[in-house]
Structure 1
Amino acid sequence: MTNTIFFDNLIILSNRIMLAAKNLPSEFTTWNLKHKAPCGADWWVKFVNSQIRGHNFAWRNRYNLPSWLIRQIGPFGFQLNSLTRTFEYPWCFLATPLEPGMRVLEIGAGASGFQFVLADYGLDVTSVDPLINPSEQVDWIFSAKEFNHLNHSFGGKVKFIQNFLQNANLDSNHYDRIFSISAIEHIPPDDAIPLVQEIERLLKPGGCFITTIDLFLDCYPFENQVYNQYGANISIPSLIEQSGLKIKIGNPAELYGYTEFDAEKIRSRRDEFLVINNVMTQCIILEKLA
């Protein structure tokens, strides 16, 4: 493994994109194939999506599978993921230079494989998630026990804290990178502000917050309703202002809340962007200045 994991041309390529593009860069496709993202090995996806009796039982008990089988499925095969993740995972991974030994934090990862891939590349990974059952409609609860089994299966390198970030008592100025993949928009507005302020406290000077944020096409400013079942469109510039961080990568014309953002122009360009279930993906990098 070289000292620097990523090459400058990949970083430049990933940073040109603020709204996820419909056509994936070839580097993103290669990354997904290598890590079996975003849903695990192809045979596993076909297996759990089949209507054959007993397959649903296997999915519901996936956290208890033997470690050798878990590794065959791949780190992304244990959480239901939107297909927007075909873009989000490689973008977050390729967006900034990463080096072995860097301290990185992922917020709200759940059973996502991103944290395990980061650890496999030699990064010092901490994962923070309260692991609260997401809905009364689902019949499973992902607990610390299940997380620990997955973590052990993929090398046992991720340090897991079962809590909200604001209550995790982590050290200030400690992390080189903090990742949040399509999580902030699901948090109540009153909780999002202290969250991003805590992110600022935790980052080292010069450290980066790399995040993707859903843009809901069935909510304001595209439609009259403010909320859908997943959340609401949040003002990116307001969030940044509250955080104390500075935008490093981000195109105001493609980020909701900026005066340059025109909903009708975005709607007219819909065919250019990755749209899954009426959702686009906004990509930004924020930096903590010295």
Structure 2
Amino acid sequence: MVSAMVYDLDSIATVGVVGAGTMGSGIAQVSAMAGYDVVMRDVEDDLVESGFETIERSLDRLVESDRLSDEQAGAVTDRIAGTTDAADLADCDVVVEAVVEEMEVKQNIFADLDDRTAAGTVLATNTSTLSITTIASATERPEDVVGIHFMNPAPVMRGVEVVVGEKTADAVVDFAHAFAEDLGKTTWESDDKPGFVTNRILMPWLNEGIRAFDEGVATKEDIDTGMRLGTNVPMGPLELADHIGLDVVLHASETLHEELGDRYKPAYLLKRKVEAGDLGKKTGEGFYEYE
């Protein structure tokens, strides 16, 4: 579908981000680092403040490694405005949603954005598994809705997955690639199929690594070492699952299991860890322990 609207990257001044969690704060940071003004919105002041704390820690690490100066880091935070008022997103030129992976929640957000933002505002979702087409159906302009799936952590990971919904305009797809590239990312494109490219392949890999550990094939250290050195990946499956968050891995696996069948069935040990509250790095314990 071709839209009549011209989606011009040069006309983008303000980026809206819905959600101030791990992904939302990361997207806000990389957008501000690229020179955009950012409105970062969440439902509670404490969540917005937590998002700023995450951004400040990330920027501190960049300063410590001499990749940013103190002045540059300060300029980044100055470009980000935090809010709990959805009305503050009305004047944004592009909005990226990065909230919990629940379809009803996302559809409610997109229906609200549809009412608040001007026609032609690109409405993007950072979803990792849910249908872009179904999310877009909550709006009156599905041609403006696209998937811009950042990898975690967004300030560090170089890749962004652009996901094309059934009615996403060609010009919006082109804009999504150009916008992500302007943030310093490299993009690839996926059709709106369950899991897209990354999680469709990643989730079985993570779960098989967890099963191998649970079934005594090798220690967790040897599984991760074998995969790092044997396949030239930066992290093995158990390390990476901890880094992503075991609850996030479980939710994505369950979504794909429902859509695609038993080859995506979550590992039993993954479920047990999540039920115990051991979610990985963010809680201090998963398959490994963290300070």
Which range, TM-score by smaller chain?
A: 0.3 to 0.5
* Higher-RCO chain (CA-CA 8 Å, sequence separation at least 6): 1
Provide TM-score, normalisation by structure 1: 0.38
Query: Greater helix share, 1 or 2?
Result: 2
Provide TM-score, normalisation by structure 2: 0.38
